[in-house]
């Protein structure tokens, strides 16, 4: 079969769900095509540089119903994005499936300078991009790196748990954001675009079975209901996969138990100038969590357990189970329910396009963790969370992507509410010996106005600039700390407000047909908030202030040998004021506690790059590299290591303060990830793809200035896959392995009351996946 015939066949099978990029827009992926082959993508030759986009392309793509097929094949995806002045990492749905990225945390294995870590092994995550981020253990503050699903920002990142299925693509955007859409932030954003309804019938399913009885099942159906009205329904079920055991009794831990549904309904007018898209989703997650391994005893003399890579200890006293209203013998686990809806409305007036995005997200969580990492009840924790967020965005922007002048103006509103209650079992901690609970609420409201403009000058030079103004108001109306059988302490409410400008200015030059260089300066803004965990004194509720950063970035994108070699890279420098980090506060006669605080002055710098190489007919190689360094320039805080050491000698808590000026920020200096693949035709209708993938992550501090056990060790992981797929793209069958060398490593860490702990990463998994789609 000739290439042109294969492309025409693929287009006839996929219908309107396949929209191949024009010179000025990003290729729309094979919407919902389970296991769609990368080699089936095609793009026309780029005749001229694309203007700088100011309207999110995920919105532009929703109205695409035309099919443009050419015989010219490209083996390097996202060709049109090579003409956009950004350092974004764009990932197709196929690349994610191929690398086994099925959760948020997996993204750090396919993007440079990105770290996503679980909070104590749970479904809650902390994000770091270019080293910018912080450990928000209560998850009640705006994340440093914002997560979007279909243009909807998630104020509480946990609410996005379980939604990574039936995807179209993902974009990881580093650096300050907020002048073109959504919400301001200092670290960047991760934008997920899920597959949209199609106007012709499509359906598909996949089944993934792996070691430790892990099972992942997905299915979708998409098609027309009536003229101009289409729908899509997709679902996912995850079960099994638990790999931890308790050496004391052989109990098993870590099995997934969750399901999720997403439905979409799209209507468009006959002239395709008006589109309305209504989406809804539901997630139920009763999965067990990965439990910590204690690595150092801070308080007490009880020996720490000696554990193997796949072992852990935990406990649940019947008295604690009765207190929290959960069954006796409860294992560390989630009991979460999330649901939400969003409404997108677009209308093209001809001279401009108006977009409205309305969304509501809510969740209920019940989460049990054994944070001390032993069978003793020294820091057993159960928390309940009730949270919701309403967002509304309006933007008006250019409707002609070929115009020299591109512009967008808009406004964004967010209202969020949260209630949390932390239960602690300290019964076996001699200095306390009780159970207690901390309860608090949080109210938040913010508004912002933004605008962005770009103009393409002669000689392929484009100037662009953006401005944002944001007002954020949040309060903690009251917090109580109750010792059961003892006293209850009520703290008075706190509030904080901030109003800041953010912006961007830059220039790009399309030096040649295949080479773009750019320079931009961006100011980012992130509002302040509260540390609200384990509060003992009123001062702990003092709000921390806003974070601002001025980022200088120089980058380039180049396809020096089209369809053979791609080189993209960017260098950056961040100048922070009030950077938000987790510092330490010492409570007299109690001990050190973590507290989010502001660093008056700090800086970071580094680079990231991507090389895609197709040196010979069958070989395809992708390599991402991220490198960053940073230090505090002025930061007076409790020195946790010195304070702990002084307590070990004297038995008395006394704060040892240090100025951490010149101390490294503790983020991984080097991250590497990539893959190589050999694509071999077996017959005229069947091909085999086989190859390894790899990732490396440098050491990371879990406390300011941390050394020794205060740092997570570096690690290297190797994986591999082999995939059979027909030229039609209707099905594929894969065998794969992750952590092929069965390396012992740790993904995150922290401090409990009496111990420091690490969260271990998974051992070797070997599995198989089969999928079918039409």
Q: Give the model confidence (pLDDT) of 588-612 as tens digits.
A: 878 888 889 999 999 999 999 999 9
Q: Which helix (H) or strand (E) holds 251?
A: none
Please write the tens of the pLDDT for every residue from 243-262: 999 999 999 999 999 999 99
The whole-number pLDDT of residue 681 equals 95
pLDDT mean across residues, the chain: 89
Q: Which position has the higher pLDDT, 67 or 395? A: 395
Please write the tens of the pLDDT for every residue from 98-151: 888 988 899 999 999 999 998 888 888 999 999 898 888 888 888 899 999 999
What are the strands of the beta sheet with 89-92, ordered from one edge? 89-92, 167-174, 188-194, 145-149, 152-154
The whole-number pLDDT of residue 33 equals 41
Residue 274 pLDDT > 80, yes or no?
A: yes
β-strands 547-561, 336-348: how paired?
unpaired
Residue 196 pLDDT > 60, yes or no?
A: yes
Q: CA-to-CA distance for 327 and 416, rounded, in angstroms?
A: 31
The whole-number pLDDT of residue 76 equals 84
Residue 292 pLDDT > 50, yes or no?
A: yes
The whole-number pLDDT of residue 30 equals 37
- The 3-state DSSP class for residue 301 equals coil
Q: CA-to-CA distance for 672 and 110, rounded, in angstroms?
A: 9
Q: Which helix (H) or strand (E) holds 180?
A: none
CB 50 within 8 A of CB 25: yes
**If we measure between CA atoms, which residue out of 680, 679, 675, 689 comes closest to residue 740?**
675
Percent of the chain with pLDDT over 90: 75
Alpha-carbon dihedral 630, 634, 637, 640, rounded to 10 degrees: 30
The whole-number pLDDT of residue 518 equals 98
Phi, psi of 158, deg, nearest 5: -60, -30
Q: How many domains, the chain?
A: 1
Q: Euclidean distance between the first and final Cα of the chain, in Å?
A: 20
CATH number of the domain within which 256 lies: 2.40.170.20
The whole-number pLDDT of residue 22 equals 33
Q: Which position has the higher pLDDT, 733 or 62? A: 733
Residue 15 pLDDT > 80, yes or no?
A: no
Q: What 3 state SS string does 718-755 have?
A: EEEEEEEEECCCCEEEEEEEECCCCCCCEEEEEECCCE
Question: Which pLDDT band, with edges at 50, 70 and 90, does 27 fall under?
Answer: very low
The whole-number pLDDT of residue 32 equals 38
Exposed / middle / buried, residue 458 (Cβ in 10 Å: 0-12, 13-18, 19+): exposed
Please write the tens of the pLDDT for every residue from 482-526: 999 999 999 999 999 999 999 999 999 999 999 999 999 999 999
Longest dimension (CA), the chain: 80
Q: What number of CA atoms fall less than 13 Å from residue 519's CA on the CB side?
A: 0
State the DSSP code for 220: E
Question: Which pLDDT band, with edges at 50, 70 and 90, does 587 fall under?
Answer: confident
Question: Which pLDDT band, with edges at 50, 70 and 90, does 389 fall under?
Answer: very high
Residue 41 pLDDT > 70, yes or no?
A: no
Q: CA-to-CA distance for 69 and 596, rounded, in angstroms?
A: 53
Please write the tens of the pLDDT for every residue from 721-772: 999 999 998 999 999 999 999 999 999 998 888 899 999 999 999 999 999 9
The whole-number pLDDT of residue 210 equals 97
Residue 265 pLDDT > 90, yes or no?
A: yes
Q: Which position has the higher pLDDT, 20 or 692? A: 692
CB 334 within 8 A of CB 118: no
Lowest mean pLDDT among 49-63, 603-617, 634-648, 759-773: 49-63
Q: CA-to-CA distance for 243 and 238, rounded, in angstroms?
A: 15
Cα dihedral across residues 39, 773, 280, 260: positive or negative: negative
* E strands in 71-137: 89-92, 114-118, 125-129
Q: What's the whole-model pTM score?
A: 0.88
The whole-number pLDDT of residue 58 equals 39
The pLDDT of 17-45, averaged and rounded, is: 35
The whole-number pLDDT of residue 298 equals 87
CB 487 within 8 A of CB 530: no
**Distances in whole angstroms, Cα of residue 497 to Cα of each of 204, 443, 526:** 48, 12, 11
Residue 11 pLDDT > 60, yes or no?
A: no
Residue 53 pLDDT > 50, yes or no?
A: no
Residue 43 pLDDT > 50, yes or no?
A: no
The whole-number pLDDT of residue 224 equals 97
Please write the tens of the pLDDT for every residue from 343-388: 999 999 999 999 999 999 999 999 999 999 999 999 999 999 999 9
Range of the domain at 407: 3-773
Alpha-carbon dihedral 78, 82, 84, 86, rounded to 10 degrees: 90
The whole-number pLDDT of residue 75 equals 65
Please write the tens of the pLDDT for every residue from 158-169: 899 999 999 999
Tokens of 653: 């808590």
Residue 1 pLDDT > 60, yes or no?
A: no
**Cβ partners under 8 Å of residue 692, min gap 6:** 675, 676, 718, 719, 720, 740
């Amino acid at each position: 079969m000739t290439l042109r015939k294969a492309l025409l066949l693929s287009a006839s099978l996929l219908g309107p769900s396949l929209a191949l990029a024009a010179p000025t827009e990003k290729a729309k992926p094979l919407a919902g095509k389970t296991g769609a082959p990368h080699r089936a993508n095609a793009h026309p030759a780029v005749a001229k540089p694309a203007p700088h986009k100011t309207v999110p392309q995920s919105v532009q793509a929703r109205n695409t119903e035309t099919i443009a097929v050419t015989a010219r094949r490209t083996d390097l995806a996202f060709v049109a994005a090579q003409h956009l002045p950004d350092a974004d990492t764009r990932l197709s749905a196929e690349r994610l499936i191929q690398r086994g990225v099925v959760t948020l945390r997996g993204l750090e294995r396919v993007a440079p300078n990105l770290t996503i870590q679980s909070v104590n092994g749970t479904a809650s995550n902390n994000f770091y991009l270019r080293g910018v981020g912080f450990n928000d253990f209560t998850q009640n503050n705006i994340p440093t790196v914002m997560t979007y699903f279909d243009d909807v920002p998630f104020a509480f990142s946990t609410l996005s748990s379980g939604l990574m299925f039936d995807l179209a693509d993902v974009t990881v955007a580093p650096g300050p954001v907020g002048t073109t859409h959504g919400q301001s932030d200092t670290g960047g954003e991760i934008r997920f675009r899920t597959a949209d309804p199609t106007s012709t019938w499509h359906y598909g399913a996949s089944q993934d079975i792996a070691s430790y009885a892990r099972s992942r099942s997905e299915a979708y159906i998409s098609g027309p209901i009536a003229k101009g009205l289409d729908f899509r329904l997709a679902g996912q079920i995850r079960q099994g996969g638990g790999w931890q055991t308790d050496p004391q009794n052989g109990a098993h831990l870590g099995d997934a138990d969750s399901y999720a549904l997403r439905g979409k309904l799209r209507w468009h007018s006959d002239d395709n100038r008006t589109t309305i898209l209504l989406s809804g989703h539901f997630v139920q997650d009763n999965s067990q969590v990965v439990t910590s391994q204690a690595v150092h005893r801070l308080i007490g003399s009880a020996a720490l357990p000696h554990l193997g890579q796949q072992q852990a200890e935990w406990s649940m006293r019947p008295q604690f189970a009765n207190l929290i209203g959960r069954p006796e013998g409860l294992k560390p686990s989630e009991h979460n329910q999330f649901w939400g809806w969003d409404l997108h409305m677009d209308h093209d007036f001809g001279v401009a396009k108006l977009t409205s995005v309305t969304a509501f997200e809510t969740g209920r969580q019940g989460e049990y963790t054994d944070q001390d990492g032993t069978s003793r009840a020294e820091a057993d924790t159960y928390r309940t969370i009730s949270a919701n967020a309403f967002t509304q965005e309006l933007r008006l922007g250019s409707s002609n992507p070929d115009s020299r002048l591109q512009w967008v103006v808009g406004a964004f509103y967010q209202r969020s509410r949260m209630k949390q209650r932390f239960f602690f079992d300290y019964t076996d901690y001699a200095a306390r010996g009780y159970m207690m609970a901390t309860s608090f609420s949080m109210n938040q409201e913010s508004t912002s106005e933004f605008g962005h403009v770009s103009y393409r000058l002669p000689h392929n030079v484009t100037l662009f600039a953006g401005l944002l103004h944001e007002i954020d108001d949040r309060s903690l109306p009251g917090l109580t700390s109750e010792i059961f059988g003892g006293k209850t302490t009520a703290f008075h409410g706190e509030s904080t407000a901030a109003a800041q400008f953010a912006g961007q200015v830059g220039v790009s030059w399309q030096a040649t047909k295949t080479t773009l260089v750019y320079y931009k300066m961006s100011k980012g803004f992130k509002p302040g908030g509260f540390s609200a965990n384990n509060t003992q004194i009123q001062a702990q509720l003092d709000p921390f202030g806003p974070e601002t950063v001025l980022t200088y970035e120089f980058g380039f994108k180049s396809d020096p040998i089209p369809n053979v070699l791609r080189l993209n890279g960017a260098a950056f420098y961040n100048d922070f004021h009030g950077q938000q980090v987790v510092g330490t506060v010492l409570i007299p006669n109690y001990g050190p506690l973590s507290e989010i605080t502001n660093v008056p002055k700090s800086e970071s710098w580094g680079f990231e790059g991507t090389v895609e190489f197709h040196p010979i007919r069958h070989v395809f190689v992708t390599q991402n590299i991220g490198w960053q360094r940073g230090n505090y320039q002025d930061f007076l805080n409790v020195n946790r290591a010195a304070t702990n050491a002084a307590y070990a000698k004297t038995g008395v808590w006394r704060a040892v303060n240090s100025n951490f000026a010149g101390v490294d920020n503790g983020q991984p200096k080097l991250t590497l990830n990539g893959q190589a693949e050999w694509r071999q035709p077996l017959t005229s209708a069947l091909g085999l793809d086989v190859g390894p993938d790899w990732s490396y992550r440098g050491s990371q501090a879990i406390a300011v200035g941390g050394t020794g056990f205060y740092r997570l060790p570096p690690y290297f992981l190797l994986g591999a896959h082999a995939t059979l797929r027909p030229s039609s793209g209707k099905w594929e069958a894969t065998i794969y392995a992750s952590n092929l060398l069965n390396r012992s490593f740790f993904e995150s860490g922290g401090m409990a009351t009496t111990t420091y702990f690490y969260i271990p990463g998974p051992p070797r998994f070997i599995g198989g996946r089969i999928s079918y789609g039409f």
